[in-house]
Structure 1
Amino acid sequence: MKRAIIIFTRLPLLGETKSRLRDFLPPLKIQALSYRLLCQNVKEAKRVKADRIFWVTSQSKAYQLKDFLPLDQEKVYEQIDAGLGDRMAFAIGKALEDGYEQVLLIGSDLADLTAELMEEAFTALTKNDVVISPTADGGYGLIGMSSLYPEIFALKHYGGETVYQQVLKKASDLSLELGSIGLIHDVDTKEDLVRLLTNDPTATFLAQGEYNANFVLDKGRKIFRVALGSQMHLDHQIAYEYQALKLLEPSLVTPRVEGLYHDLNYTDLDYLIEEFLPGRPLDYQKDSLKAAHLLAKVHNVPVPKGHGLLEAKEPFAVMYDEFLTMFQHYQDWTGKDKKVEARIKALLEQLQNYDMNIGLKNPCIINTELNAGNFLINEDGPSYIIDWEKPIIGEREQDLAHFLAPTTTLWKTDYLYDKEAIEEFLEAYNAVSQIPVDRRKLEQYLKFTCLRGITWCAMAYVQYQEAEKLGLNEESFKVISSYLTDDFLKMIEHYFK
């Protein structure tokens, strides 16, 4: 019996495949994923006694399938200019016209398609008019026929969760015998990819920021975490986070990591898996003393030799240089407010009264970006500190200042620590810390932290304006704008005094 396997594919060109992954993977990794899935599916198809026929689509005419795959007498056609259903019907009809008695059509992005499943499909075609293999997302990844039934492809829409059900109804309406075999998985979304990498069908998306994405694994017991970039300009950001979390395990208040992994099969992606921790975000008014105890436990962790973390030898000098670099964006901008510029310059000048060249004293592991969202608070159990994207070896006073500074607390709340609340916080911290807080250094860090927030906002304001990012995160832009108002800068001036 003359059999054919049609492989429907896009050329794995940079920027042409997997559009739903573009906010998750960089273009080169998406291209690698598309290419490797294509190769994997072709390899399985070659194990079946059937001719292989490629139907290809691409926006570029500069490349052909032979530029990506070693072809062995396989026919290659360009997909017709039509909807997906019409394209599939045309390809199957062409194969049947060419004398093939059984025809399967498969996609090229299937994660678990096997030669055995395709053989099962051919066998099922001896008893059925149509054979189909549904995908976990409600579509299908394989369809087979011995005669063309174009109505099967005339669906209202493709790409939704009802595609498979629509096909079943079409077959029933046409009184066709339909055989459904297996369940296969295609890779279209970031959840699909995480399920493929972890072999966990329960993996679900949790949250994504500009620099990382998190997924829940193992029915809520674990977290899959991947870096989408690095604020620290590291080549191996997630490995750096893993190292920090391993060092912090003795604190018992940070996530325990299961392992650091590198995907060699599909994306060359690094990721870590850590325990899922329960809890709600910190409330500054109710939970400050808990936060003080948690931070003390973190800062009590000894720093071993060969720790592998970055270390700011002269933290104030580094911070001040960072302020100047960020503020320069605003100063060079033609749309700047000269009054805002003058107020920020005056605040920066006040910082010059401090010794910028003080070295580290009593170094410890610090988070550097503490806010309410970094804490998971539990009334009846242990609480935790999470999100260790930018840990370094620094001074406890830097962490405490970032947590207490008005530029931190006012970002998403209306809470402002007064002197009494700061004093209560420090007393709670010192009760657990092995080393008491240096009050004078804390005061210096508080002022530097405020300028770090303001100069960052000045830079971000320009970037939002020039890149027209308003639609991306309007809430953040509102806060950034508020930090550059006369009233807010006056409040910081008063805070300095």
Structure 2
Amino acid sequence: MSNAIIYFVKLPLIGYNKTRLQGFLPKEDIHHLSIYLLQETFKEICQTEADVFVYVSPAEKKLEIQSYLKIDEKNIYGQSEESHLGKRMSQAMQQIFKQGYDKVILLGCDLVDVNHLLLNRVIRMLDHEDVVLTPTLDGGYGIIGSRFFSPVMFDLETYSHDEVCQKTIKKIAEAGLSYALTETIRDLDTREDVVRFLSGDPNAVYFNQGEYNANFLIDKGKKIFRIALGSQMQLSNQIEYEFQVLKALAPTGVVPKVYECHPQTKLLGKGYLVEEYLPGRPLDYQTDLSIAAQLLAKIHSVDSEKIPHLIRAKFPFSVMYNEFLDMYSHYQSWTGRDPKVIELIDSLMQGLKKYSLRSELSNPCVINTELNSHNFLINPGEHSYIIDWEKPLVGEREQDIAHFLAPTTTLWKTNQLLTSSQIKEFIRDYNEVSGVKINTNKLKKYLHFTCLRGITWCSMAYVQYLESEKIKANDQSFQTIKRFISPAFLTRIEQYIKSLEEADL
């Protein structure tokens, strides 16, 4: 008896595949995932007892599939132009049956549990059944096989819902055809599908996502599965960098425990780590400054020499200044720039020239570099923590503390502007538990630089938001960015910086 397998595929084109993963994964990662699934399933198909035919969408680019799969041109077909998936599959199966095959199997290219043993089993099951289906966890099916063509198998009004397999079975039974089911397999359509496959936890759920990472809860909510989607530091090993610093900081007891790290995965290219899920609420600047001071003192007490992989800036102010120039250049060269905003930022940048940029790193320690209220998990009277270690460095404690205290940080998610007396109390609390005291003159300098860091970043982000065409009316981040580069806010920062010169810290 002669057998045929129809491999129903989408050509790997950036932006064309896996549309439900857009907004979760960067387009390059979706492209990588699409190619991986396409090729891995094809390897298994080629080990079966069947002739293989590939049906490609879009049809006009069908021969481009040979860039990814080793298959003869005569076995490549374009999918029909029908928008209805069932009609496209029906036409393909009818076309192959007309070539004289006794059994025909059709499967898609987004499956992760397909192997040649399963495919050969489907072929053998067709000795006894008219139709064989392989269900998927989402209520659809990944494989459908038949020993003769019957359009009833594809006679559904719609696809892409959780009753596709059930309704297909009903159609088959109503037509008087016999059928059987194999074990259930998985396809990868959603962000949860991806993480459930990588983590091995079928109950993994989405937790939250930032610009550079996505987090999911696994192990009944006891652990966080964290994927690095990008790197602010342009690191090729971002997730490993985070893992190593968390492991080194573990003895402090104020960061999440880490359990495992996979720097790379075949599925995504990039990797992930698994860390402890911790309880707590965001920091309140009015009530929790003393807790923050103690947490930071513990972090800064860690011997940075024991974490050799951490990036170290020999001249931290020079590094920051060059970072400002790079970020600000996006706004400076933008055709929609506001001349008044340019004038005010230029003036603020000019004020930095009174400082030496060649001050060398002294009293080095591990710093987070991005401390805001949501980087803290506060549990009054119990253990509190510092989380989100995307951009740690070996730097100066004053840089970390300045970022935490600066108005460009406190006004980002709250309406809090710390007073001189609050800052003095924080310094007192920190110095009481730290082996190295805060240099207040250096802190003032870092406060000035941190304000410029926040403003120049916002100037860059403002342009990127507008050019991305993804702004929503209720997008709080964009509204805050817009406010931070308004003339009124820039004038307020200018006054704050002038007040630093006379402030008694």
> Is 1:201–2:202 an aligned residue pair?
yes
Q: Judging changes above 3 Å, is the alpha-carbon distance between structure 1 residues 102 and 234 closer, same or farther for their aligned structure 2 residues?
A: same
Aligned AA for 2:212? Y
- Cα displacement (A) at 1:177: 3.4
Q: Which runs of 4+ in 1 moved over 6 A?
A: none
Moved more, 103-112 or 468-477: 468-477
Aligned AA for 2:284? D
Instruction: Give the match for residue 21 of structure 2.
Output: 21
In 1, distance between residues paired with 2:474 and 2:368? 25
In 2, distance between residues paired with 1:453 and 1:273? 30
- Cα displacement (A) at 1:396: 0.9
- Deviations for 1:36-75, whole angstroms, at most 9, x for unmatched residues? 3233323323333233332222365373444433337983
In 2, distance between residues paired with 1:356 and 1:53? 65
- Deviations for 1:420-461, whole angstroms, at most 9, x for unmatched residues? 222222222223222121122212211221122122223333
In 2, distance between residues paired with 1:95 and 1:7? 12
Q: Judging changes above 3 Å, is the alpha-carbon distance between structure 1 residues 461 and 138 closer, same or farther for their aligned structure 2 residues?
A: same
Instruction: Give the match for residue 39 of structure 2.
Output: 39
- Deviations for 1:313-362, whole angstroms, at most 9, x for unmatched residues? 22223223333443344444454433333333333333333333322221
TM-score under structure 1 length normalisation = 0.91
In 2, distance between residues paired with 1:346 and 1:73? 65
- The 5-angstrom pairing of residues 69-468 of structure 1 reads 69-71=69-71, 75-82=75-82, 83-263=84-264, 265-304=266-305, 307-379=308-380, 381-468=382-469
In 2, distance between residues paired with 1:458 and 1:27? 25
- The 5-angstrom pairing of residues 1-16 of structure 1 reads 1-16=1-16
Size of the alignment, in residue pairs?
Answer: 497
Maintained 8 Å contact 2:228/2:270: no
- Cα displacement (A) at 1:298: 0.8
In 1, distance between residues paired with 2:456 and 2:329? 9
In 2, distance between residues paired with 1:262 and 1:60? 38
- Percent identity between matched residues is 49
In 2, distance between residues paired with 1:329 and 1:51? 55
Aligned AA for 2:377? L
Maintained 8 Å contact 1:16/1:59: no
Instruction: Give the match for residue 502 of structure 2.
Output: none
What secondary structure, in the 3-state scheme, does the structure 1 residue paired with 2:355 have? coil
Maintained 8 Å contact 1:51/1:74: no
Moved more, 106-115 or 266-275: 266-275
- Cα displacement (A) at 1:97: 3.0
In 1, distance between residues paired with 2:77 and 2:145? 19
What secondary structure, in the 3-state scheme, does the structure 2 residue paired with 1:394 have? strand
What secondary structure, in the 3-state scheme, does the structure 2 residue paired with 1:100 have? coil
What runs of 5+ residues in structure 1 fail to find an aligned partner?
none
Aligned AA for 1:42? F
Maintained 8 Å contact 1:54/1:74: no
- Cα displacement (A) at 1:253: 1.1
- Deviations for 1:279-298, whole angstroms, at most 9, x for unmatched residues? 22222223222222111111
In 1, distance between residues paired with 2:61 and 2:14? 13
What runs of 5+ residues in structure 2 fail to find an aligned partner?
500-505
What secondary structure, in the 3-state scheme, does the structure 2 residue paired with 1:6 have? strand
In 2, distance between residues paired with 1:81 and 1:68? 22
Maintained 8 Å contact 1:55/1:91: yes
Moved more, 262-271 or 303-312: 262-271
Maintained 8 Å contact 1:260/1:273: yes
- Cα displacement (A) at 1:391: 0.8
Aligned AA for 2:138? D
- Cα displacement (A) at 1:311: 1.5
Aligned AA for 2:137? A
Q: Judging changes above 3 Å, is the alpha-carbon distance between structure 1 residues 14 and 63 closer, same or farther for their aligned structure 2 residues?
A: farther
- Deviations for 1:5-34, whole angstroms, at most 9, x for unmatched residues? 222122345554323334444555444433
In 2, distance between residues paired with 1:394 and 1:81? 59
In 2, distance between residues paired with 1:251 and 1:487? 42
Maintained 8 Å contact 2:133/2:141: yes
What secondary structure, in the 3-state scheme, does the structure 1 residue paired with 2:305 have? coil
Maintained 8 Å contact 1:261/1:272: yes
Q: Judging changes above 3 Å, is the alpha-carbon distance between structure 1 residues 93 and 467 closer, same or farther for their aligned structure 2 residues?
A: closer
Aligned AA for 1:81? E
In 2, distance between residues paired with 1:402 and 1:453? 9
- Cα displacement (A) at 1:472: 9.0
Maintained 8 Å contact 1:16/1:58: no
CA RMSD of aligned residues (A): 2.7
Moved more, 66-75 or 484-493: 66-75
Instruction: Give the match for residue 50 of structure 1.
Output: 50
- Deviations for 1:366-425, whole angstroms, at most 9, x for unmatched residues? 011111111122246422111111111111111111111111111111112112222222
